[in-house]
């Protein structure tokens, strides 16, 4: 039919966006970038050629210098080492935050969705309370109260990060619980706990995973933002946001010093978002 009239160039675009095997292969490749970043983060300390805290070379070396691939900063610390350490810290902290969101939000969402009634109301109004407050500001307030530092930043973000997950998982569980297979399982004599764990929760896993993988980028940005504002790691330790902030005044003279950690943040959050999208496409095409 009319397909014959579509020019070949457009067909290729269609092929790329549709969920054909070639499309899912592309998704697979993008999703494996997530793994790649994780590997880089795991090996960060081993890969980094120098101690990130000690001055190890000339001051203000530009990128491409023989011993310092990404150059050095204004007190002679190796930028590559600092960036690798920074990547490790922000990647893992954001994974921890997202995982805590999944666990706390998941527990609250599943409980609310399964129990319904006043428990649902109570838990969801509590969730609404958190959603009503701007998360980043609350996190800043918590960190300010606890004192700056990586651990406190983590606690601050974790406290504000779960409500979103609770909402999404509750909605998913509610719709799954009303599906016929749950009624059929109930009739087959499946007990309540088993019903929830085997017949409802597995159905909510794909949605939760997709939400989580798309969320990693947000957490990376928020973490970098907080440490840019001085609420993250304390001074000598490598931290991408803080490094950018501290050397920002060098932007016009030694541009690579603030730009390098900034680009690392950009790349990580970009990969996290693309990877999350790819995960979603893979899970959707499987269903």
Name the region of 230 (left: φ>0; alpha: ψ -120 to 50; beta: rest). left
Q: Taking the complex as a whole, how short is the minimal distance between the CB of residue 185 and another protein, in angstroms? A: 6
How crowded is residue 215: how many other Cβ atoms within 10 Å of its Cβ? 21
Binding-site member from 96, 190, 250, 263 for another protein (CB under 8 A)? 190
The total of other beta-carbon atoms located within 10 Å of residue 106's CB is 22
Q: Does 169 bind another protein (CB under 8 A)?
A: no
Q: With helix as H, strand as E and coil as C, how does 67-120 read? A: CCCCCECCCCCEHHHHHHHHHHHHHHHHHHHHHHHHHHHHHHHHHHHHHCHHHH
Site string for another protein, 200-239 (x = CB under 8 A): --xx------------------------------------
Structure tokens at 203: 């159905």
8 binds another protein (CB under 8 A): no
Q: Kindly tell me which residue out of 10, 12, 13, 20 binds another protein, with binding defined by CB under 8 A.
A: 20
C-alpha torsion 79→221→39→214, nearest 10: -160
Nearer residue to another protein within complex by CB, 63 or 203: 203
In the list 12, 45, 151, 186, the residue contacting another protein (rule: CB under 8 A) is 186
- Decide: is 198 part of the binding site for another protein (CB under 8 A): yes
Residue 183 within binding range of another protein, rule CB under 8 A: yes
- Residues making contact with another protein (CB under 8 A): 1-5, 14, 18, 20-21, 179-190, 194, 198-199, 202-203
């Amino acid at each position: 039919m009319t397909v014959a009239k579509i020019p070949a160039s457009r067909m290729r675009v269609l092929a790329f966006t549709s969920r054909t095997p070639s499309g899912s292969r592309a998704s697979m490749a993008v999703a494996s970038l997530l793994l790649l970043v994780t590997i880089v983060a795991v090996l960060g300390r081993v890969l980094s050629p120098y101690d990130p805290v000690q001055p190890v070379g000339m001051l203000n070396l530009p990128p491409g210098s023989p011993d310092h691939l990404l150059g050095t900063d204004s007190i002679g610390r190796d930028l590559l080492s600092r960036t690798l350490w920074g990547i490790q810290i922000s990647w893992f902290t954001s994974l921890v935050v997202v995982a805590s969101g999944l666990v706390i939000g998941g527990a609250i969402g599943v409980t609310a969705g399964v129990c319904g009634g006043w428990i649902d109301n109570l838990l969801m109004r509590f969730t609404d309370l958190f959603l009503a407050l701007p998360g980043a500001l609350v996190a800043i307030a918590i960190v300010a109260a606890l004192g700056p530092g990586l651990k406190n930043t983590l606690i601050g973000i974790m406290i504000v990060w779960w409500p979103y997950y609770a909402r999404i998982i509750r909605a998913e569980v509610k719709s799954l619980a009303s599906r016929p297979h749950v009624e059929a399982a109930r009739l087959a004599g499946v007990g309540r706990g088993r019903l929830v764990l085997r017949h409802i929760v597995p159905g909510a896993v794909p949605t939760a995973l997709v939400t989580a993988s798309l969320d990693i980028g947000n957490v990376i940005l928020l973490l970098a933002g907080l440490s840019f504002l001085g609420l993250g790691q304390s001074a000598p330790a490598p931290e991408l946001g803080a490094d950018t902030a501290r050397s920002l005044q060098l932007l016009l003279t030694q541009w690579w010093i603030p730009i390098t950690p900034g680009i690392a943040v950009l790349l990580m959050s970009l990969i996290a978002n693309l990877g999350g999208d790819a995960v979603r496409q893979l899970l959707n095409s499987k269903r």
